[in-house]
């Protein structure tokens, strides 16, 4: 539960990916920070979700009585940021107290089903780790995270020379870049990215590349039409009923003809369940490998594997975590033919 009684004024430190998730959580429970402090001059003077991003010195001057929380988990940067805040002499608190959408208890019936459909012992250990973390909220007691180098493309998935990658939430093309390093041979790449800033970066990166690639400026969901969107030009862009940008929305089932994806990655800021449902025919008939982010809301940790299993019981499910706490969880759905022995 969010500790809103700590202070009437909260300064969030760090306007990176983690900070942006925490801001959205705090806004969702009606306790937004008064400002975001960041050392990057390029971010200072801008806004995220209507919250001003200022230098730490500006924040301290404007809000001398505020309580500061550091939204940083990077092994290298976390000690530096915490030392900086301490030297400033401001009141501080752990940011784990400010992420209410991450602490829901995993239902026992969901745990039992996951135990039945889990592909390996590592998945069961990670579920147990999350059960402990959601009780005690101490990421220093957790099992080590899986290396980020394995994100989306773990070694236990068998590669195909005719792979057809569908990248839902392509951002600036970082996932495609990693795919190309790992797959010397493939058939096609489909990229879906609704944010204009990200799309322009993605398009420019691969404009002159002789790659078999289709890039669409659209979001994937369970319907075709339009939607409101918060455009940020980075990884935090997302579907948002209060968003000021209108975007095109499509389904995976309506997007492909004879060339069907064999590997689908979903990182779409909380819209994963809708996108899975919008691709149910492909999932049921063709059993592509699925790599699905499961950390944007607390219940996605169990709702995503349960939905995938309901759509296609042939899959085995593999859970991996790439950051501390309850962040950067991914579920991989893999049929036996695509599992490395």
Q: Residue by residue, what is the 3-state secondary structure of 252-294?
A: CCCCCCCCCCCEEEECCCCCHHHHHHHCHHHHHHHCCEEEEEC
- In this structure, what are the phi and psi dihedrals at residue 157, rounded to the nearest 5 degrees? -95, 130
pLDDT at position 102 over 60: no
Vertex 154 angle, CA 149 and 156, to 5°: 150
Instruction: Tell me what pLDDT residue 142 has.
Output: 87
Instruction: Tell me what pLDDT residue 2 has.
Output: 42
Query: Could you tell me the pLDDT band of residue 94, with boundaries at 50, 70 and 90?
Result: low
Query: Could you tell me the pLDDT band of residue 302, with boundaries at 50, 70 and 90?
Result: very high
At 242-274, the pLDDT tens digits run: 777 889 999 999 999 889 999 999 999 889 999
The answer for residues whose C-beta is within 8 angstroms of residue 164's C-beta and 6 or more apart is 186, 187, 188, 189, 190, 259, 260, 261, 262, 263
Tokens representing residue 177 in the block: 């870049």
Alpha helix locations (H) across 49-192? 56-62, 77-88, 108-117, 121-136, 174-182
Which residue has better confidence, 201 or 82? 201
The answer for residues whose C-beta is within 8 angstroms of residue 341's C-beta and 6 or more apart is none
At 155-194, the pLDDT tens digits run: 999 999 999 999 999 999 999 999 999 998 999 999 999 9
Instruction: Tell me what pLDDT residue 99 has.
Output: 59
Q: Which CATH number fits domain 108-338: 3.40.50.150, 1.10.260.40, 3.20.20.100, 2.102.10.10?
A: 3.40.50.150
pLDDT at position 295 over 90: no
Query: Could you tell me the pLDDT band of residue 97, with boundaries at 50, 70 and 90?
Result: low
Query: Could you tell me the pLDDT band of residue 5, with boundaries at 50, 70 and 90?
Result: very low
- In this structure, what are the phi and psi dihedrals at residue 303, rounded to the nearest 5 degrees? -65, -35
Contact 219, 198 (CB under 8 A): no
pLDDT at position 101 over 60: no
Query: Could you tell me the pLDDT band of residue 311, with boundaries at 50, 70 and 90?
Result: very high
The answer for residues whose C-beta is within 8 angstroms of residue 87's C-beta and 6 or more apart is none
Instruction: Tell me what pLDDT residue 140 has.
Output: 74
The SS3 of residue 317 is strand
At 137-151, the pLDDT tens digits run: 776 788 999 998 999
Length in residues, the chain: 341
Contact 114, 127 (CB under 8 A): yes
The DSSP code for 18 is H
Q: Which of 52-56, 101-105, 107-111 has the lowest mean pLDDT?
A: 101-105
CA distances, 131 to each of 15, 115, 296, 302 (Å): 28, 14, 17, 12
pLDDT at position 67 over 50: yes
Q: Which of 27-36, 44-53, 181-190 has the lowest mean pLDDT?
A: 27-36
Percentage, residues of the chain above pLDDT 90 = 59
The SS3 of residue 117 is helix
Distance CA 204, CA 196 (A): 12
The answer for residues whose C-beta is within 8 angstroms of residue 316's C-beta and 6 or more apart is 117, 118, 119, 333, 334, 335, 336, 339
* pTM as predicted: 0.83
Residue ranges of the domains in the chain? 10-102, 108-338
Which residue has better confidence, 207 or 94? 207
- Share the mean pLDDT of the chain: 88
10-102: CATH number: 3.40.50.720
Q: Look at the block and give the residue holding tokens 């919008």.
A: 278
Which residue has better confidence, 210 or 101? 210
Contact 52, 15 (CB under 8 A): no
Query: Could you tell me the pLDDT band of residue 70, with boundaries at 50, 70 and 90?
Result: confident
Instruction: Tell me what pLDDT residue 3 has.
Output: 44
Query: If we measure between CA atoms, which residue out of 37, 64, 35, 62 comes closest to residue 51?
Result: 35
Tokens representing residue 309 in the block: 């299993």
């Amino acid at each position: 539960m969010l500790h809103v009684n700590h202070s009437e004024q909260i300064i969030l430190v760090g306007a990176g990916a983690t900070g942006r998730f925490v801001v959205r959580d705090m806004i969702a429970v009606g306790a937004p920070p008064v400002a975001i402090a960041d050392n990057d001059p390029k971010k200072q003077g801008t806004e995220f979700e209507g919250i001003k991003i200022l230098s730490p010195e500006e924040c301290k001057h404007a809000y001398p009585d505020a309580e500061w929380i550091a939204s940083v988990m990077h092994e290298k940067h976390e000690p530096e940021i915490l030392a900086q805040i301490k030297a400033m002499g401001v009141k501080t608190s752990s940011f784990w107290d400010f992420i209410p959408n991450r602490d829901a208890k995993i239902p026992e019936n969901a745990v039992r089903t996951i135990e039945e459909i889990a592909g390996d012992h590592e998945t069961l250990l990670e579920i147990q780790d999350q059960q402990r973390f959601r009780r005690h909220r101490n990421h220093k007691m957790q099992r080590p995270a899986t290396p980020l180098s394995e994100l989306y493309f773990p070694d236990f998935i068998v590669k195909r020379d005719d792979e057809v990658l569908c990248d839902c939430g392509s951002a600036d093309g970082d996932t495609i870049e990693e795919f190309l390093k790992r797959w010397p041979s493939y058939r096609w790449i489909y990229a879906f990215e609704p944010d204009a800033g990200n799309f322009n970066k993605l398009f420019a990166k691969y404009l002159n590349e002789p790659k078999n690639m289709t890039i669409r400026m659209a979001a994937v969901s369970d319907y075709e039409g339009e939607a409101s969107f918060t455009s940020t030009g980075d990884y935090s862009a997302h579907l948002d009923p209060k968003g000021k940008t209108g975007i095109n929305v499509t389904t995976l089932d309506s997007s492909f003809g004879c060339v069907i994806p064999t590997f689908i990655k979903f990182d779409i800021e909380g819209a994963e369940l809708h996108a899975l449902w919008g691709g149910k025919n492909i999932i049921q008939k063709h059993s592509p490998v699925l790599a699905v982010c499961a950390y944007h809301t607390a219940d996605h940790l169990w709702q995503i594997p349960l939905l995938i299993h309901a759509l296609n019981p042939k899959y085995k499910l593999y859970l991996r975590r790439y950051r501390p706490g309850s962040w950067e969880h991914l579920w991989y759905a893999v049929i036996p033919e695509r599992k490395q022995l």
